[in-house]
């Protein structure tokens, strides 16, 4: 056990509310009759379907392939028949639809042949990354970034430390806590593989001090396999929100700051979530692709709160009815935690790779009120973990002065919600920042598109000009040629006339 080295500014100490969902062990959600699988459950390009409607698929069979570099494969979570490949509502703050594959399960849950590799050192680092990509593994902490990319430091970077994130700082969520308590060995398997793929010795597993059971479970597992994990240690850090955020965690553990617009790899650090680590272990050693995840279902309106190993694509209402919620139909609930999650209105939406928590009913929820004017108290700036000036950003976002928001480093905002939480005027600050961010990105996209259109139009005009000139040139040439032949003809005729004249002359003489 080592001590944390640093800290970050701001942050909040929140009431964890985690006990509600940790008193029972992880349970399996019953198999759903239909599974809806969005083709984009990760950051990057959506996967491309490789099955047709009517195809029979087995559990763990690939149903969509990665498209482009930043993308992963998608698998059938259970055996059954593909009934549709069409647009369906997905869990997204917009409430919009996207392409999904729907599977009607046959309740046999028949696995495809799995390729086990108990001794992963037979594989090269490249093979491991490839397998992780083929297993569809993405960051399960919530962001959903393809994990194989983070395991590829490239030739220009040297990785010094692998950080395993078991912090889970957001209130209510306990899926990482439970996986550490119950599947510590599986997490260590994943860590071993990642250390091998990254060629890194040092590894720290970071856990907040409000999870004593998880800490002792991990310590026990580590002790049992001490010979393999000599340079691995557990760091216990004080509970503070948002320590679970990658950059803040690195700051706490190492005292180093990830540069703005930079990546942890720039300072020699790679960070993975405990759930991801477990999934990597299952994928490489047991050959199981990512077809399920652990979802916390909790909140004041949930009768049997807890953690549920749920197949991807399971409609949320099945999970909610399994836990017996007192939720009224159409009552909105939160996907994610109370700080960073977003409201969903429909419960027919599927569980995706990034769905870590379903929260129905929050303790002492204040009634939503109209925001009052900003009084410039500065509490938001004190709470901000990335040292931004939320109130300045608020003014500029509000007046849509996007250039200024950028100057004030809007894109460094991690949307943790600390500023909105402390605001005495209850201004939805993060909402303003998200608005300004998407607005800026759309504007950039539009400018880019306009630039291409301008270029294409100019090229077209140029081409037309060139064609016109060519045509004129051809016409001129033809005219010249015509004139030349005409002249030649005339000359020949004149010569002929001359010749005949001279011959008559000769005759005359």
Parallel, antiparallel or unpaired: strands 56-57 and 80-89: antiparallel
Which residues contact other proteins by CB under 8 A?
A: 40, 90, 92-94, 96, 98, 370-371, 398, 400, 428, 431-432, 434-435, 437-439, 442, 445-446, 449-454, 456-460
Q: Are 63 and 56 in contact, with CB atoms under 8 Å apart? A: no
Rounded-to-5 percentages of helix, strand, coil across the chain: 40, 20, 45
Cβ at position 431, least distance to other proteins in Å: 4
Angle of CA points 408, 413, 419, to nearest 5°: 95
CA distances from 447 to 113, 158, 368, 403, 459 (A): 50, 37, 38, 14, 18
SS3 64: strand
Identify which of residues 98 and 112 has a Cβ nearer to other proteins in the complex.
Answer: 98
What are the φ and ψ backbone dihedral angles of 180, each rounded to 5 degrees? -70, -40
Identify which of residues 90 and 180 has a Cβ nearer to other proteins in the complex.
Answer: 90
Burial of 262 (0-12, 13-18, 19+ CB in 10 A): exposed
Q: What are the tokens at 389?
A: 């000036």
Cβ at position 44, least distance to other proteins in Å: 10
CA distances from 472 to 62, 64, 433, 463, 464 (A): 60, 55, 58, 14, 12
Cβ at position 447, least distance to other proteins in Å: 8
Identify which of residues 164 and 351 has a Cβ nearer to other proteins in the complex.
Answer: 351
Identify which of residues 15 and 370 has a Cβ nearer to other proteins in the complex.
Answer: 370
Give DSSP secondary structure letters for 42-63.
SSSSPPEE---TT-EE-BT-EE
Half-sphere exposure of 361 (CA within 13 A, CB side): 13
Identify which of residues 22 and 40 has a Cβ nearer to other proteins in the complex.
Answer: 40
Cβ at position 401, least distance to other proteins in Å: 11
Cβ at position 397, least distance to other proteins in Å: 8
Cβ at position 85, least distance to other proteins in Å: 16
Angle of CA points 323, 140, 439, to nearest 5°: 100
Structural element, H or E, at residue 492: helix 429-508
Identify which of residues 93 and 378 has a Cβ nearer to other proteins in the complex.
Answer: 93
Cβ at position 48, least distance to other proteins in Å: 16
Identify which of residues 111 and 342 has a Cβ nearer to other proteins in the complex.
Answer: 342
Cβ at position 123, least distance to other proteins in Å: 34
Measure the CA–CA gap between 42 and 90, rounded to whole angstroms: 13
Identify which of residues 213 and 462 has a Cβ nearer to other proteins in the complex.
Answer: 462
Q: Are 78 and 105 in contact, with CB atoms under 8 Å apart? A: yes
Cβ at position 94, least distance to other proteins in Å: 4
Q: How far apart are the first and last CA of the chain?
A: 134
Cβ at position 53, least distance to other proteins in Å: 22
Which residue from 346, 320, 351 is spatially nearest to 336, judged by alpha carbons? 351
């Amino acid at each position: 056990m080592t001590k944390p080295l640093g800290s970050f500014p701001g942050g909040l100490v929140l009431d964890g509310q985690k006990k509600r969902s940790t008193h029972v062990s992880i349970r399996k959600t019953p198999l759903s009759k239909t599974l809806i699988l969005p083709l984009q459950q990760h950051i990057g390009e959506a996967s491309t379907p490789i099955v047709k409607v009517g195809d029979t698929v087995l559990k763990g069979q690939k149903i969509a392939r990665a498209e482009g570099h930043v993308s992963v494969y998608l698998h059938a979570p259970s055996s059954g028949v593909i009934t549709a490949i069409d647009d369906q509502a997905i869990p997204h703050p917009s409430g919009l639809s996207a392409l999904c594959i729907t599977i009607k399960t046959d309740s046999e849950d028949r696995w495809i042949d799995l390729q086990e590799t108990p001794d992963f050192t037979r594989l090269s680092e490249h093979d491991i990354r490839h397998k992780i990509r083929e297993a569809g593994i993405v960051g399960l902490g919530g962001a959903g970034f393809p994990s194989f990319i983070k395991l590829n430091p490239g030739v220009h970077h040297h990785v010094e430390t692998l950080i395993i994130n078991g912090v889970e700082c957001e209130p209510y969520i306990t899926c990482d806590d439970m996986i550490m308590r119950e599947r510590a060995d599986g997490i260590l398997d994943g860590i071993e593989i990642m250390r091998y793929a990254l060629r890194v010795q040092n590894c720290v597993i970071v856990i907040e001090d409000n999870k004593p059971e998880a800490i002792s479970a991990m310590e026990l597992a580590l002790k049992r396999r001490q010979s393999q994990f000599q340079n691995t240690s557990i760091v216990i850090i004080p509970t503070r929100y948002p320590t679970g955020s990658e950059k803040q965690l690195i700051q706490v553990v190492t005292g180093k700051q990830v540069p703005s617009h930079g990546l942890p790899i720039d300072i020699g650090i790679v960070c993975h979530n405990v759930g991801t680590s477990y999934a990597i272990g299952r994928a490489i050693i047991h050959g199981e692709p990512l077809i399920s995840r652990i979802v916390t279902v909790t909140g004041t309106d949930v009768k049997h709160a807890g953690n549920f190993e749920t197949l991807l694509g399971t409609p949320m209402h099945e999970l909610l009815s399994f836990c017996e919620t007192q939720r009224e139909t159409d009552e909105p609930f939160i996907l994610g935690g109370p700080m960073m999650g977003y409201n969903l209105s429909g419960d027919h939406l599927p569980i995706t790779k990034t769905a870590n928590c379903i929260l129905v009913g929050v303790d002492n929820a204040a009634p939503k009120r109209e925001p009052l004017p900003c009084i410039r108290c500065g509490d938001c700036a004190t709470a901000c973990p990335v040292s931004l000036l939320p109130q300045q950003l608020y003014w500029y976002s509000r007046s849509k002065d996007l250039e200024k928001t950028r100057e004030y480093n809007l894109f460094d905002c991690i949307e943790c919600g600390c500023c909105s939480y402390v605001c005495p005027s209850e201004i939805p600050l993060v909402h303003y920042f998200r608005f300004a961010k998407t607005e800026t990105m759309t504007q950039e996209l539009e400018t880019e598109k306009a630039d291409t259109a301008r270029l294409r139009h100019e090229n077209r005009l140029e081409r037309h000009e060139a064609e016109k000139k060519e045509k004129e040139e051809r016409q001129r040439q033809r005219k010249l040629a015509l004139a030349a032949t005409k002249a030649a003809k005339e000359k020949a005729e004149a010569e002929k006339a001359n010749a005949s004249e001279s011959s008559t002359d000769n005759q005359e003489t």
